[in-house]
Structure 1
Amino acid sequence: MKNIPDKIFGTDARIIILGIARMADAIGNSFLIVVLPLYIASGQVKGEFFGLSGSLITGIALGLFGLVSSVCQPITGRLSDKLGKRKFFVLLGLVLFMFANFFYSLADTYMWLLIIRATQGLAAALTITATLALVSEVSSEKNRGGNMGIYNAFRLIGFGIGPLGSGALVEGGPYNLPVLGTVTGFNAAFFLAAIAALISVILVAFFVKDPENIEPNEEGMVIYFKAKMPGKILDPIFTLGLATLFMSIGFALLAPIELEVNERLSQGAFMFSLEFSALIGCMAIIQPVVGKASDKFGRKIFIVIGLICLIPIILLEGFVTEPWHMITARALHGICAAMVFAPALALAGDLAKKGQAGAQLSVLTVAFGLGISIGAFLSGYMIRFGFSTPFIIGAVLAAIGAVLVFTQVPNHKKEAEIEAEV
């Protein structure tokens, strides 16, 4: 690497640079969560799309990103394994993000909007799997948990910062800028998202290199569902994926029912934003701490305790009557989610075969994305059966996840090898 030390605050510099790059990228992309619905509703996008309403197209556009990303992640992860190149895939994804973010400013039909959104999903698949594989491969079992926690903390900080400024940026437009002239608030948001991706490209291109021991892997698809260990039913990495799925479903229950939450708690949009952000903020702060602790005390214990603690906390969210109740519950929710996610990624990295981290870690990243989508659908549909119903289901899923991890997942790689030999 150029002009920077091998370690920053005792951590491999590549981890810090990748985290900062993903933070910049996440800031730009989280802009779009707020901006895209406003952009579609503004009337600047014209045309017919199979006779669908604007609101339905908005939902499709927002959901298309996660769908394309989830479908493509195992494929892009396997390709990066096969070629033995992580940095190339990270850069390719970030460059696609940069151009897609910019081309929103030129999209004037629904078809172009959906094409750009699908391109972003592909870009995410390229970037996510290769980045996590790289983080895992430059780590060892002694520091993988801490490294995963640091990387995810940066990413979550970016995800949390983006929406805070995007609404104000849109409302403050148009802007008179040198060279560019008059720029609408929407285009300003799209340009800043593109610039954020460009910053990420520069950081990765100049300051990150592939692990020295990574080699092309010619094996076939290496995602397993059934256990190879005696006495187990499910593959441990697949089980960790299920636990991540259940955790992220609970993560996503609040956002789709904002109106019902505000009515129940007699609050406005600002208090809801505090409640929503409490989870992300605590998760970002706690992940490096929990990840580092999992390096010392083991991964499985944190995952199981985190899932068990999610049971009463998610239930509490379904029965709160005051805003401060919800803020407290969401903050605790973030702490418990951090106890699950960072150690689960680290343990999956421990268990992954050499040269197959891209494909095998994609099990967890796909599960997280699918859980967000399923949680949003589940909450939006089940709220009709009572305010607490989605949260009761989320708590039950957390309990199932705890049982699965406790019974199907080894504490570490050596235990898995010993059990397989027996």
Structure 2
Amino acid sequence: MSYLDVDRRILALAFARMVDSLGNSFLIVVLPLYITSGVVTGGTFGLSATLITGLILSAFGFFNSGIQPFAGNLSDRTGRRRIFVIAGLLTLTVANFVYTLVDSYGAVLLVRITQGVGVALTVPATIALVNELSRESARGEAMGVFNTFRMIGFGLGPVVAGGVVASGPYLGGTITGFEAAFYVATLSALLGALCVYLLVEDPEQEEADAGEDISIAVLDRVRDDKLLDPVFTLGVASLFMAIGIALLEPLEHHINTTLGQTATMFGIEFSAFVLAQVLLQAPIGSWSDEYGRKPFILAGMLILVPATLAQGLVTTPAGMIVARFVQGAAGAAVFAPAMALAGDLATGRSSGTTLSVLTMAFGLGTAIGPLSAGLLAGITLPFGTAYATPFVFGAVLAFLGFCLVYSQVDETVDTGGAEPVEPGAAAAD
């Protein structure tokens, strides 16, 4: 496949998401260090510093996920996706800069919540634009290309961030390493906003048909042989996948101790997942246009089971790298085909509302995953290491996701076999 075949507006959105993700992923490394560096003091609401730090790190995911359905539906009703993307990126620009001005836990928490709002405005509208700007026969390819760029930014951010913080201060000591990192995140979000403003336009829309109801359909009211709505089912599967992916980060200390490795090796293991995503997102998305969405989603969810479980059982850094790479490959098999399948089922201008179910679920999973790991790591199983329990939990969720998709989701691409679901049929109620 060639990126030249993709609509230039999709490439512009992908580039904007890449630089935005680079800035946001800076904070994966920088924010925990900043909160515990001694710069942030006071305003803990009577809570311990450890607990307030956990709340700050989780607030982003919860607010991001909670607001996405509202933002997606509002972009449907107005038919103006572009302004939501720009507004969200500008909100992130301001929030990233404000980190350099605050020095209390309460203020940092408010800034983190603001970041969640900014991403919530951006993501559903961006995915809806990609869905609407792509050809029906190449929707999986477009989703794969978009997410490839996002993962490039996400993968580079933590690597660059560590160097930026460690190399400070700058300009004769006037700018600390932390401030420099926040400035990079600020400029990244601003560059993304400028890119969308200059290169992206809303597609021509037919008469508005997006409803005001933002409730998520749980039960299927169209197909007599299915219980659950297919988009809801894909959302649950995305939630389970995201929880399993996010289990690793809070267990860094335990993993390094057990495997006898350094923080640098842990960074390599973390990056193995991203590398697999970057290599496989676009081709798998393109293949799903030709061979169908459901087979790739099922394969990905099934492979997630051993790949997630292995992370709690490996005894060497090499084993962890392999497990993370395989988990990344499995995630790549799920993400683009699932987004494309949900896009196939969206009707008229309902893309923002429909696709926000998946993006909300994934964001919620990235917030629940670290909390789950922290709670479950102290529970001992009769096999594996001390941190194996969270990964067993993640593997079980992945298998449940596989079962749900297998039984409740129909194919939407005509591959010459069974009759595909008519695009939009699931949303027709």
Does the alignment pair 1:406 with 2:388? no
**Aligned-residue CA RMSD in angstroms?**
1.9
**Structure 1 match to 2:416:** none
State the secondary structure of the residue aligned to 1:320. Answer: coil
Amino acid at match of 1:108: D
Contact 2:88 2:119 in 1 (8 A): yes
State the secondary structure of the residue aligned to 1:278. Answer: helix
Amino acid at match of 1:194: T
State the secondary structure of the residue aligned to 1:105. Answer: coil
Does the alignment pair 1:109 with 2:104? yes
The more displaced of 334-343 and 313-322 is 313-322
**Structure 2 match to 1:395:** 395
**Structure 1 match to 2:117:** 122
State the secondary structure of the residue aligned to 2:171. Answer: strand
Distance verdict in 2 for CA 1:288–1:215, change over 3 Å: farther
Could you give the per-residue CA deviations for residues 52-81 of structure 1, whole angstroms, max 9, x where no partner exists?
222222211111111111110000000000
Q: CA deviation at 1:218?
A: 4.5
**Structure 1 match to 2:157:** 162
**In structure 1, how many angstroms separate the alpha carbons of the residues matched to 2:50 and 2:162?**
19
Contact 1:142 1:295 in 2 (8 A): yes
Contact 2:73 2:210 in 1 (8 A): no
State the secondary structure of the residue aligned to 1:182. Answer: coil
Amino acid at match of 2:171: N
**Structure 2 match to 1:100:** 95
- From 247, 263, 272, give the equivalent of 2:266: 272
Q: CA deviation at 1:207?
A: 0.3
Could you give the per-residue CA deviations for residues 24-47 of structure 1, whole angstroms, max 9, x where no partner exists?
111111111211222222222232
Could you give the per-residue CA deviations for residues 162-210 of structure 1, whole angstroms, max 9, x where no partner exists?
1112122122221117xxx821111111111111111111110000011
Distance verdict in 2 for CA 1:286–1:215, change over 3 Å: farther
The within-5 A match list for 1:39-58 is: 39-58=34-53
Does the alignment pair 1:201 with 2:206? no
State the secondary structure of the residue aligned to 1:210. Answer: coil
Distance verdict in 2 for CA 1:215–1:42, change over 3 Å: farther
The within-5 A match list for 1:55-70 is: 55-70=50-65
**Structure 2 match to 1:415:** 420
**In structure 2, how many angstroms separate the alpha carbons of the residues matched to 1:8 and 1:341?**
19
Distance verdict in 2 for CA 1:9–1:115, change over 3 Å: same
**Structure 1 match to 2:31:** 36
- From 11, 25, 30, give the equivalent of 2:20: 25
**In structure 2, how many angstroms separate the alpha carbons of the residues matched to 1:319 and 1:38?**
29
**In structure 1, how many angstroms separate the alpha carbons of the residues matched to 2:34 and 2:309?**
36
**In structure 2, how many angstroms separate the alpha carbons of the residues matched to 1:28 and 1:213?**
32
TM-score when normalising by structure 1 = 0.94
**In structure 2, how many angstroms separate the alpha carbons of the residues matched to 1:286 and 1:241?**
21
Distance verdict in 2 for CA 1:46–1:322, change over 3 Å: closer
State the secondary structure of the residue aligned to 2:136. Answer: coil
The within-5 A match list for 1:178-327 is: 182-213=174-205, 215-222=207-214, 223-228=216-221, 229-327=223-321
Number of equivalenced pairs: 412
Amino acid at match of 1:241: G
**In structure 2, how many angstroms separate the alpha carbons of the residues matched to 1:214 and 1:175?**
53
Does the alignment pair 1:366 with 2:371? no
Contact 1:36 1:58 in 2 (8 A): no
**In structure 1, how many angstroms separate the alpha carbons of the residues matched to 2:112 and 2:379?**
33
**In structure 1, how many angstroms separate the alpha carbons of the residues matched to 2:6 and 2:220?**
34
**In structure 2, how many angstroms separate the alpha carbons of the residues matched to 1:370 and 1:282?**
22
Contact 2:124 2:355 in 1 (8 A): yes
Amino acid at match of 1:203: C
**In structure 1, how many angstroms separate the alpha carbons of the residues matched to 2:100 and 2:226?**
52
State the secondary structure of the residue aligned to 2:421. Answer: helix
Does the alignment pair 1:74 with 2:69? yes
**In structure 2, how many angstroms separate the alpha carbons of the residues matched to 1:84 and 1:216?**
7
The more displaced of 412-421 and 115-124 is 412-421
- From 375, 379, 384, give the equivalent of 2:378: 384
Amino acid at match of 1:161: L
Q: CA deviation at 1:140?
A: 2.7
**Unaligned 5+ runs, structure 2:** 381-386, 414-418
The more displaced of 65-74 and 412-421 is 412-421
Q: CA deviation at 1:141?
A: 2.4
**In structure 2, how many angstroms separate the alpha carbons of the residues matched to 1:293 and 1:337?**
15
**Structure 2 match to 1:3:** none
Does the alignment pair 1:9 with 2:14? no
Distance verdict in 2 for CA 1:218–1:266, change over 3 Å: closer
Contact 1:311 1:395 in 2 (8 A): yes
**In structure 2, how many angstroms separate the alpha carbons of the residues matched to 1:87 and 1:59?**
33
State the secondary structure of the residue aligned to 1:176. Answer: coil
Contact 1:84 1:214 in 2 (8 A): no
Distance verdict in 2 for CA 1:215–1:8, change over 3 Å: farther
Amino acid at match of 1:390: P
**In structure 2, how many angstroms separate the alpha carbons of the residues matched to 1:29 and 1:261?**
25
Amino acid at match of 1:262: N
Q: CA deviation at 1:324?
A: 0.6
Could you give the per-residue CA deviations for residues 64-105 of structure 1, whole angstroms, max 9, x where no partner exists?
111111110000000000101100000000011111111111
**In structure 1, how many angstroms separate the alpha carbons of the residues matched to 2:10 and 2:141?**
10
Q: CA deviation at 1:109?
A: 2.3
**In structure 1, how many angstroms separate the alpha carbons of the residues matched to 2:293 and 2:274?**
21
**In structure 2, how many angstroms separate the alpha carbons of the residues matched to 1:166 and 1:195?**
14
**In structure 1, how many angstroms separate the alpha carbons of the residues matched to 2:294 and 2:130?**
20
**In structure 1, how many angstroms separate the alpha carbons of the residues matched to 2:142 and 2:363?**
21
Contact 2:210 2:348 in 1 (8 A): no
Q: CA deviation at 1:146?
A: 0.7
